Chains A and B, each alone.
Chain A
Amino acid sequence: MSVPADSAPGAPEIGVETPFQRFRAEFFESWIAAFALGLLGLIVVLALLAPWITPQNPYDLGQVDVLDGKLPPGSRAYTGYTMWLGSDGAGRDLYSAILYGLRISISVGVASGVIALVIGSTIGLIAAYAGGRVETVVMRLVDLQLSFPAALIALMLVAVMGRGIDKIIIALVAAQWAYYARTVRASALVESAKEYVEAARCLGLGHARIVFRHILPNCMAPLIVVGTVQTAHAIALEATLSFLGVGLRQTEPSLGVLIANGFEYMMSGRYWISFFPGIALLLTIVSINLVGDQLRDVLNPRLKK
């Protein structure tokens, strides 16, 4: 409505302050967001350094011994080191397994989230802007996709191509792009009908410019909400697929696989097998989302005072 077309974020013609400086200042207004960013940074660094700061490579079957299995936190493993967080059923040191698992979980969640967001919102925008047959076909494909269970996609992928991180990312993208498409289309429909889009059209601006520079920024708020939630959800969904037996390979566990494996120990009093991976997952997702929340508020052109 009243939003001037060129107030889109990152537009270079704004202010004397560079956009990044302004962005940084606004981001750190909230100490919670700052703390979350710090925590997220720490988690990422720990995950990256995993091979150098863990006593065991949990993916090397030669280093994992089932005789070390299910040891409570603080026990000593046969090979001598102390398992501060205990071990899982297969004898993996949970501290090592969690750090290695973080790498997989974060990359799977972020990769599938970003790919699904890009594909989905592009498709949604095009559908809304183009209208007509294109919109019809796209939206019916969305209907089809939304009705298709992720477990079925994953089962088919495992059957045809086997297991692997790339397959799980494909399954998660396939399961999620339609959400973005649907959400973006809904907002874009509203925006397309607004005066500024008509004004832009009258000015003879190109379609791509109108769609990506004018409509998209105004659809960002719901998109980022869905995006942060879905990225977190992707990580949890990966755990659920593992729970259903079609996730990642059990000998190279992600956090989700660790939790799914620990699931069966929950009633037995060996809380640590799924508790510690659960805490790690929780911290990761909470910090991603706190950062995402602040990003959304800072990037949203309509919250400018």
Chain B
Amino acid sequence: MSKFKQTLGILAATALLGGPAMAEELTIGLASEPTSMDPHFHNLGPNNAMSRHIFDRLILQDERQQLIPGLATEWYPIDDLTWEFKLRQGVTYHDGSPFNADDIVCSFNRAPDVPNSPSSFGIYTKGKTVVRIDDFTIHIKTPRPYPLMANDVSTIVIVSSDSGCDATTAAFNDGSAAIGTGPFKFVSYSPGDSIVVERNDDYWGEAPIWSKVTFKPLKSGPTRLAALLAGDVDIIEGVPTTDITMLAKNAEVSLSQGVSNRVIYLHLDHDRADSPFVKANGGGAIDNPLRKLEVRQAISMAINRDAIVDQVMEGVAIKAGQLLPDGFFGVSDKLAPVGYDPEGAKALLAQAGVGDGFELTIHGPNDRYINDAKIAEAIGQMLTRIGIKTQVETMPRSIYFKRASRGGPDDTPEFSFILVGWGAGSGEASSPLKSLIHTYDREAGFGASNRGRYSVAAVDALIEEALATVDDEERAALLAQATEMAINDVAIIPLHYQVNTWAAKKGLKYIARTDEYTLAIGVIKE
């Protein structure tokens, strides 16, 4: 990483010395395309990133996912069940109409309830009642104390009560309703081809330096890079890891990197005594060894995380020892990545009574995470070497996720040992804890992605306690404690945190973001 900073420094210096004046227009190559211009239609990363341009939220997340004022200037709890938000005054929409508290009330009503929405914002508005106090004050009430209020509010886009709240998704797509308060105005949207926005000169915040921004979806990695090198686009996201070494030497290109909130990890079957993809040597039945702590520890020790980071990820990843990288809210300072120790792993296997090893299949997607199929293959090699004969099965995510989540009988997870990733959208540790570690509980909405069906009552209790603790310091301690218990019990095996890379042409630089968004306001000249 420090080598990069050096390179970037040199690049910055050369850019200052000379080079043509930069046009005010910017073209961005996107790795994944937003599916709609309706900010409430689809709660998914690319859409949420795009809506940051045209619309605002009450609270924004900065590049480290810290919360900063957006359309709200301040917010605080006034009692256990009520939060007060003070709204920014003098803000207008792109059509000139003024912003006020009515917009908040109707946006919170619309967000969870867009027709045909394939994934709604209901998970953030659930249980919250928005009350208008005056034009520039609102209260949000919850039935129980709710510490994540500000995080949830930062996800809800505010649209105008005049033009946006009653509009259809189609009206947003053709631009007639795509009227926000954001730094850019809608110009055109052509699915599969381009999205164009222009500068909003009346923006309440710092006006963007770009007068016009074009987004082009370029899904194939090499194509995206070629488009940058050929000058079709000015900046790309999702630079393929294989090319980063070469690009670092290219004086025409400026790289930015930042760790993301996404951990890549292995989930193991903690539940079934006879797990379908764990076999004794030769293919016979075996009492699921993954339920033994020693075996789980052995697997974690058999994995050479340095080799994965250096070889498979080409150095562009950070070894993981828990659910979120250092610096995020609620992480533990007592956990370190497990060291590589194949001999120790073999000893632990012997201790657990499976010294001769067993047969295992690792399942993983091949089009979801950075280098996912290659990581699965490397794990296969490493486990085979300590005597766990591993077969590697990777498949497109369209097939993979259904089977991984509920491909077995009674909608249980089908696989025994899987490679997955988790990005903490809220930017703090309760997100992975409640979805991956907490016991699967349909009614309470916990453990929705607990595909290993890990279940320990003490850990559950800690997570639930944390989620009801409003005091930040106390909550952080509880989350860290829950993480430590789960990781020491090898509930999951963390491998690494993804590092995202952006590449821009010389003279531009991107301010890397942990939430993986590519925002035009993050592209600066240097």
A touches B (Cβ under 8 A): yes
**Chain B residues, CB < 8 A from A245:** 366-367, 394-396
**Chain A residues, CB < 8 A from B245:** 268
Task: Assess whether A15 is interfacial by the CB under 8 Å rule.
Answer: no
**Chain A residues, CB < 8 A from B222:** 263-264, 266-267
Q: How far is the CB of A40 from chain B (nearest CB, A)?
A: 32
Task: Assess whether A61 is interfacial by the CB under 8 Å rule.
Answer: yes
Task: Assess whether B6 is interfacial by the CB under 8 Å rule.
Answer: no
* Selected contact of B381 from candidates A61, A159, A246, CB within 8 Å: A61
Task: Assess whether B226 is interfacial by the CB under 8 Å rule.
Answer: yes
Known A-B contacts A62-B381, A265-B242, A267-B240; A159 and B392 likewise in contact (beta carbons under 8 Å): no
Q: How far is the CB of B363 from chain A (nearest CB, A)?
A: 11
**Chain B residues, CB < 8 A from A162:** 393
Query: Judging by beta carbons under 8 Å apart, are A264 and B308 in contact?
Result: no
Query: Judging by beta carbons under 8 Å apart, are B385 and A89 in contact?
Result: no
Query: Judging by beta carbons under 8 Å apart, are B246 and A61 in contact?
Result: no
Query: Judging by beta carbons under 8 Å apart, are A269 and B399 in contact?
Result: no
Distance, CA A244 to CA B399, complexed state (A) = 13
Q: How far is the CB of B131 from chain A (nearest CB, A)?
A: 49
Task: Assess whether B380 is interfacial by the CB under 8 Å rule.
Answer: yes
Query: Judging by beta carbons under 8 Å apart, are A69 and B312 in contact?
Result: yes
**Chain A residues, CB < 8 A from B201:** none
Task: Assess whether B15 is interfacial by the CB under 8 Å rule.
Answer: no
Task: Assess whether B200 is interfacial by the CB under 8 Å rule.
Answer: no
Interface Cβ pair total, 8 Å cutoff: 86
**Chain B residues, CB < 8 A from A91:** 311, 381
Distance, CA A244 to CA B392, complexed state (A) = 18
Task: Assess whether B80 is interfacial by the CB under 8 Å rule.
Answer: no
* Selected contact of A66 from candidates B225, B243, B307, B373, CB within 8 Å: B307
Task: Assess whether A65 is interfacial by the CB under 8 Å rule.
Answer: yes
Distance, CA A284 to CA B373, complexed state (A) = 28
Known A-B contacts A155-B399, A269-B246; A66 and B381 likewise in contact (beta carbons under 8 Å): yes
Query: Judging by beta carbons under 8 Å apart, are B308 and A66 in contact?
Result: yes
**Chain A residues, CB < 8 A from B226:** 267
Of residues 245 through 284 on chain A, the ones whose CB sits less than 8 Å from some CB of chain B are: 245-246, 249-251, 263-270
Task: Assess whether B489 is interfacial by the CB under 8 Å rule.
Answer: no
Query: Which residue of B has the minimal Cβ distance to A64?
Result: B381
Q: How far is the CB of A118 from chain B (nearest CB, A)?
A: 31
Query: Judging by beta carbons under 8 Å apart, are A264 and B392 in contact?
Result: no
Query: Which residue of A has the minimal Cβ distance to B383?
Result: A61
Query: Judging by beta carbons under 8 Å apart, are A250 and B399 in contact?
Result: no
* Selected contact of B393 from candidates A90, A159, A249, CB within 8 Å: A249
Query: Judging by beta carbons under 8 Å apart, are B393 and A89 in contact?
Result: no
Task: Assess whether B44 is interfacial by the CB under 8 Å rule.
Answer: no
Query: Judging by beta carbons under 8 Å apart, are B242 and A268 in contact?
Result: yes
Distance, CA A62 to CA B367, complexed state (A) = 25
Query: Judging by beta carbons under 8 Å apart, are A67 and B307 in contact?
Result: yes
Query: Judging by beta carbons under 8 Å apart, are A250 and B311 in contact?
Result: no
Known A-B contacts A65-B381, A69-B311, A264-B221; A158 and B246 likewise in contact (beta carbons under 8 Å): no
Distance, CA A246 to CA B381, complexed state (A) = 22
**Chain A residues, CB < 8 A from B304:** 67
Of residues 344 through 391 on chain B, the ones whose CB sits less than 8 Å from some CB of chain A are: 366-367, 373-374, 377-378, 380-382, 384-385, 390-391
Which of A62, A155, A268 has the largest count of B CB atoms less than 10 A from its CB? A268
Query: Judging by beta carbons under 8 Å apart, are A246 and B396 in contact?
Result: yes
Task: Assess whether B398 is interfacial by the CB under 8 Å rule.
Answer: yes
Distance, CA A265 to CA B374, complexed state (A) = 13
Task: Assess whether A167 is interfacial by the CB under 8 Å rule.
Answer: no
Which of B222, B377, B382 has the largest count of A CB atoms less than 10 A from its CB? B377
Query: Judging by beta carbons under 8 Å apart, are B312 and A251 in contact?
Result: no
Of residues 476 through 511 on chain B, the ones whose CB sits less than 8 Å from some CB of chain A are: none
**Chain A residues, CB < 8 A from B395:** 158-159, 163, 245-246
Query: Judging by beta carbons under 8 Å apart, are B384 and A62 in contact?
Result: yes
Of residues 378 through 423 on chain B, the ones whose CB sits less than 8 Å from some CB of chain A are: 378, 380-382, 384-385, 390-396, 398-399
Query: Judging by beta carbons under 8 Å apart, are A267 and B312 in contact?
Result: no
Query: Which residue of A has the minimal Cβ distance to B385?
Result: A62
Known A-B contacts A62-B384, A66-B311; A155 and B396 likewise in contact (beta carbons under 8 Å): yes
Query: Judging by beta carbons under 8 Å apart, are A267 and B225 in contact?
Result: yes
**Chain A residues, CB < 8 A from B382:** 66
Distance, CA A270 to CA B244, complexed state (A) = 12
Query: Which residue of A has the minimal Cβ distance to B394?
Result: A250
1/0 contact string of A157-168 vs chain B (CB within 8 Å): 011001100000
**Chain B residues, CB < 8 A from A246:** 395-396
Query: Which residue of A has the minimal Cβ distance to B382?
Result: A66
1/0 contact string of B230-256 vs chain A (CB within 8 Å): 000000000010110110000000000
**Chain A residues, CB < 8 A from B242:** 89, 264-265, 267-268, 270
Query: Judging by beta carbons under 8 Å apart, are B366 and A251 in contact?
Result: no
Query: Judging by beta carbons under 8 Å apart, are A158 and B243 in contact?
Result: no
Q: How far is the CB of B501 from chain A (nearest CB, A)?
A: 13
Distance, CA A61 to CA B367, complexed state (A) = 22
Q: How far is the CB of A142 from chain B (nearest CB, A)?
A: 28
Of residues 153 through 195 on chain A, the ones whose CB sits less than 8 Å from some CB of chain B are: 155, 158-159, 162-163
**Chain B residues, CB < 8 A from A244:** 396
Distance, CA A36 to CA B433, complexed state (A) = 63
* Selected contact of A90 from candidates B240, B374, B384, CB within 8 Å: B374
* Selected contact of A251 from candidates B221, B246, B380, B396, CB within 8 Å: B380
* Selected contact of A89 from candidates B246, B366, B374, B396, CB within 8 Å: B374
Distance, CA A70 to CA B242, complexed state (A) = 10
**Chain A residues, CB < 8 A from B225:** 267
Of residues 45 through 79 on chain A, the ones whose CB sits less than 8 Å from some CB of chain B are: 61-62, 64-67, 69-70
Q: How far is the CB of B369 from chain A (nearest CB, A)?
A: 13
**Chain B residues, CB < 8 A from A270:** 242
Query: Judging by beta carbons under 8 Å apart, are A61 and B392 in contact?
Result: yes
Distance, CA A270 to CA B240, complexed state (A) = 14
Distance, CA A162 to CA B222, complexed state (A) = 28
Distance, CA A265 to CA B371, complexed state (A) = 12
Q: How far is the CB of A151 from chain B (nearest CB, A)?
A: 10
Distance, CA A233 to CA B91, complexed state (A) = 61
**Chain B residues, CB < 8 A from A61:** 377, 380-381, 384, 390, 392
Q: How far is the CB of B194 from chain A (nearest CB, A)?
A: 23
Q: How far is the CB of A253 from chain B (nearest CB, A)?
A: 10
**Chain B residues, CB < 8 A from A69:** 311-312
- Show 19 A/B contacts (Cβ-Cβ < 8 Å), sorted by A: A61-B380, A61-B384, A62-B384, A64-B381, A66-B308, A66-B381, A66-B382, A89-B374, A155-B399, A163-B393, A245-B366, A245-B396, A249-B392, A250-B394, A267-B222, A267-B225, A268-B240, A268-B242, A269-B246
8 shortest interchain CB distances as A-B pairs: A66-B378, A61-B384, A268-B243, A62-B384, A245-B396, A268-B242, A159-B399, A61-B381
| Extra pairs beyond A61-B380, A159-B395 (10, CB < 8 Å) | A66-B377, A158-B399, A245-B367, A246-B395, A246-B396, A249-B393, A250-B392, A265-B242, A266-B222, A267-B242
Residues of A whose CB lies within 8 Å of any CB of B are: 61-62, 64-67, 69-70, 89-91, 155, 158-159, 162-163, 244-246, 249-251, 263-270
Residues of B whose CB lies within 8 Å of any CB of A are: 221-222, 225-226, 229, 240, 242-243, 245-246, 304, 307-308, 311-312, 366-367, 373-374, 377-378, 380-382, 384-385, 390-396, 398-399
